[in-house]
A and B are shown apart, each in its own frame.
Chain A
C-alpha cells in the first residue's frame, strides 16, 4: 500500500473530479496528504471515485461535494457550501482547479439560457473563481488553475456576441470555450496583479478520458476512442496540475500557460487584452455580477 507523504498540507478544490484528469489529479493530491475538496455532478459517481481513491489511500483527506456546474444556482450553492466547510475546518483555499468540461455534439441550453459548453467549460470556472477569491486571498500563495486545451488555437470569437450565433458546431463551441479559459486566466492575472493570487492555464495534452464519448455517440465517439488511444494517461497529464499546485509562494514565473510542467506558447488570440476584457465583461454580465466583481465583496 502506498504511504501518504507529509508535506505542507495544501487545501485544493477540484471540479470534474469523478473521472479522467480530475479523478487522477484528486488521487495524486490525496496521496500527498493534501486536503482535497472534490466536486462531481452526482452522488453515485462521487461515491465510486471516493471508493477508488480510498482503496489506495485509506487515510486520504478527501471530501466530495455534488453540484451540476451547468446551473449557476448550483455553482453559487457549491461556493457557499465550500466556504462553510473551510470555516468549520479553519482553512483557507490554496488551489482552485477549474477542471470541469463537457463536449456536446448537439446544441444544448442550460437552465440559465446559455449554451452548455460555454456555461460548463468557462462560466462555471469564472463564477467559482470569483466566489472563492476571498478564500484564495487568505492563502500565502493562492492559485487558480484552469484546464484549457491546445484546441483553443486557430479560432476567433466575437465575445460581445457570444451565444447569439445561429449555427452551432460542437467542436467550434468547444474551442471557443477553451480559448475563454485562457483569456479569463490572463484577465484574472491583470486584475490581481497586486495580490499573491496567481492564475495559470494548463494544456493537459491529449488524454485518454471519456470527454468525447459521454454526450456524443456515433462518429464523434468512434473518432474520439481511436484518437484517445494514443493519448497520455490521466496521471501523466495530472503532473502539470500537481507541479503548479505545490510550487512555493516565492516561485515566480512570467508564463501563465503551461503544458507538461513547462511554459507553453498560447495561441495568438489568447493574448489579446481587448478580447480578455470583453470576455470578462460578458462573463460578469451573464453571471449577474458587476464588472469589478473581484473587488466588490461578492465572494464568500
Chain B
C-alpha cells in the first residue's frame, strides 16, 4: 500500500506543485481546497499522469466546523496519514486600518488556527512508523513587515510553532519541516510583483516545482527548515544581523518608494518591498 499525503490549499500554485511532487514519489493523495470543481479536475489530471489514488474533499479551513467535518469524514474512511502539507494560506495586503476586521480575522484563522487544528488532528491519525509535516510559512516570517503586518506575524507564528513542535515530537517519530519561500511565481499578480522589482525579484524567485520537490526531499531527510534559493538564505541572514525596528523601517521605506516610483496599477505593486 502506498503512503498517504494530505495537502491543504491543493489547487493553488504551490499546492499543485506539492501534490505533483508527492505523486512523483508514489504517495497517494488526499487533497483539500475551497473549490470542489477545481479539486475534481486537478485530481483527474494527476490520475492520468501517475498510478496513484487521489481522494479530494472541498472544505473552507477558515471555518472550524468545516475542519471538524473534514476529519469526521477522514475518520469514517479510517485513513491514516504519512505526510501532512499545510499549504493553504492567504493575505489581504494593505495598511492595517484599510483592511477590514473580518479580513484580518480570516488571515489569522487560515494561516494560524487552521494549521494548529490540522496538526492536532493529523497527530491522531498518523502511522506509527512516522509522520512528516510540512508547514508553509514564508520568508516574511523573519521580518516585521509593514503593510503585511498580520500576514508576516502569522507566518512568524507558524515558524516558531513548527520549530518548537518539531523538537517536542521528535522522539515520537514526527518530523516537522517549515518551508520559508520568497514570493512564488504562481499567478499573474505575483508575476507582476516579481517583475516590478526588477533584478531583485528575478534573483529571489525560485521555480515552484523546484521548491516543492526540494522541500519534500528535505522533509523526508528530517530537516527542520528550508529556505529555497541562496539569495533568500542571505536575505534571512541579513534579517538576523539587523535590529528588528531598523528592518521594519527599511522595509516600509522601500515599499513607499516602490509605490511612488512605479506606474504599476493597484494590485501589482501593493506587493512588497522585498519579495516575500
Q: In the complex, A71→B42 CA distance in Å?
A: 10
CB within 8 Å for A112 and B194 given contacts A106-B185, A167-B210, A286-B49: no
B11 near A111: Cβ-Cβ < 8 Å? yes
Contact of B13 among A109, A286, A287 (CB under 8 A): A109
Query: Whole-angstrom distance between the alpha carbons of A48 and B218 in the complex?
Result: 49
Which residue from chain A places its CB closest to the CB of B185 in the assembled complex?
Answer: A106
Residues of A within 8 A of B38 (CB): 111
Instruction: Determine the chain A residues whose CB is within 8 A of the CB of B13 once the complex forms.
Output: 108-109
Report yes or no: B185 in contact with A113, Cβ–Cβ below 8 A. Answer: no
Please choose the segment from A140-148, A215-223, A269-277 that sits at the chain B interface, where 4 or more of its residues have CB less than 8 A away. Answer: A215-223
Q: Is the CB of B208 within 8 A of A107?
A: yes
- Evaluate contact between B208 and A113: CB separation under 8 angstroms: no
A106 to B190, CA, bound (A): 11
Contact in complex: B205, A113 (CB < 8 Å)? no
Interface string of B183-223 (1 = CB under 8 A from A): 00110000100110011011001011110010000000000
A110 → chain B closest CB, angstroms: 8
Contact B202 A219 (CB under 8 A): yes
Residues of A within 8 A of B44 (CB): 112, 288
Identity of the chain B residue whose Cβ is nearest the Cβ of A289 in the assembled complex: B48
Report the bound CA distance from A217 to B210 in whole Å.
20
User: Quick one: CB contact mask for B11-52 with A, threshold 8 Å, 1 for yes?
Assistant: 101001101100010000000000000100110111011000
Given contact pairs A109-B20, A112-B41, A168 touches B202 in the complex (Cβ within 8 A)? no
Q: Which of A73, A108, A217 contacts B41 (CB 8 A)?
A: A73
Q: Contact between A114 and B45 (Cβ–Cβ < 8 Å)?
A: yes
Which of chain B's residues have a CB closer than 8 A to the CB of A267? none
A263 close to B (CB within 8 Å): no
Contact status A113-B45, CB under 8 Å: yes
Chain B: minimal CB distance from A219 (Å): 7
The interface centre, meaning the residue of A109, A112, A167 with most chain B CB atoms within 10 A of its CB, is A109
Per-residue B-contact encoding for A161-172, CB less than 8 Å = 1, 0 else: 001101110000
Cβ contact within 8 Å between A108 and B185: yes
Q: In whole angstroms, what is the CA distance A218 to B207 when docked?
A: 16
The answer to whether B41 touches A285 (Cβ under 8 A) is no
Which residues of the other chain, A, contact B17 by a CB distance below 8 angstroms?
Answer: 107, 109
The interface residues of chain A lying within 8 Å CB-to-CB of B191 are 106, 215, 217
Residues of A within 8 Å of B11, CB to CB, are 111
B48 touches A218 (CB 8 A): no
B210: chain A residues at CB < 8 Å are 107, 166-168
The docked-state distance in angstroms from the alpha carbon of A186 to that of B233 is 48
Residues of chain B at the chain A interface (Cβ within 8 Å): 11, 13, 16-17, 19-20, 24, 38, 41-42, 44-46, 48-49, 185-186, 191, 194-195, 198-199, 201-202, 205, 207-210, 213
